Amino acid sequence: MRITTLAQWFGGNRMLAESVGKALGRLRWCGVPFAGGCPELPHIDTAAGVANDLHRHVINLARVVRDDALVEQLVQRLDGLLFHPDELITAQRRCRERERLDANRSPADVEWAADYFAACWMGRGGHAGKRGEFDQGLSLRWTSSGGDSAVRFRSAIQSLRDWHRALRIWSFSCFDAFEFIANVRDADGHGLYVDAPWPDAGEDYQHSFTREQQIKLAEALARFERARIVVRYGDHPLIRDLYPQPRWTWLRQTSRNQRNGTLAEILIVGGGPPT
């Protein structure tokens, strides 16, 4: 897959997405309450699954890409766009106008998906899901280093058919994460991958997380004994308190942050053993 994320999500797990699939193992069903840009979904070995996020723009995009007919309409619509500030401004304006639409009750919308895709891939990378994500200017390169933004945009369009194949087994929803997790059955062969907003850094998200919600999330995940649980976080004192070892197994990793600096990450694993 040429493009490793469906949307250029703030804090997205593009670099280490494959390790999530390895930690989960083979599953019959998997739930992802914080889907974001969905980079992990192609790496999760499951017969079926539900990916969820309160961010209705990205869930509508995923629903369109998953559909056999709609993904072709989306590609055709995006192929006709000029990489130009006016196109980006128009797409951002229309996305703001759709903020109050209910993605769970409305049909998948190709025009909306095209607008959000343009807003993600024409603007600066790593801003999807943040507050002010529709305030970005066109990403233009004035040197030959770092790749060309227009080429990246066209590559992202070309990858949509690959994403269609990766998302075929997934359903999508826009529930509150706690409501989503409460509906998950604790059973062998089930799994949960949880990538909630991180303490401190996660405050920039459009749907941020408070300290009280971090505590509530850890309590909600502690009930699972048979389902496989994998949680992604940065190393933080609060997270050490909420997911203590040996109750939880910590797998330490290293990735890169938005400024290309080294970033310590942790996959916290619990519940049942991998299949």
Question: Higher confidence at residue 228 or residue 101?
Answer: 228
Amino acid identity of residue 46, one-letter, is T
CATH no., domain 17-271: 3.40.50.150
Q: How far apart are CA 167 and CA 219, in angstroms?
A: 30
Give the pLDDT band (50/70/90) at residue 202.
Answer: low
pLDDT confidence of residue 116: 97
Q: Per-residue pLDDT for 89 more than 60? A: yes
pTM of the model: 0.92
CA 28 to chain centre: 21
- 214-249: pLDDT as tens digits: 999 999 999 999 999 999 999 899 999 999 999 999
Where in the chain are the domains?
17-271
Residue 125 has which token pair?
A: 């990378």
Where does the pLDDT of residue 206 fall: very low under 50, low under 70, confident under 90, or very high at 90 and above? confident
- Span 53-60, mean pLDDT? 95
pLDDT in tens, 132-186: 899 999 977 777 666 678 999 999 999 999 999 999 999 999 999 999 999 999 9
Rounded to whole angstroms, the Cα distance separating 247 from 19 reads: 21
Cα distance between residue 271 and residue 165, in whole Å:
29
**How high is the mean pLDDT of the chain?**
91
Which residue in this structure is represented by tokens 């109050």?
100
pLDDT at 103 exceeding the cut of 60: no
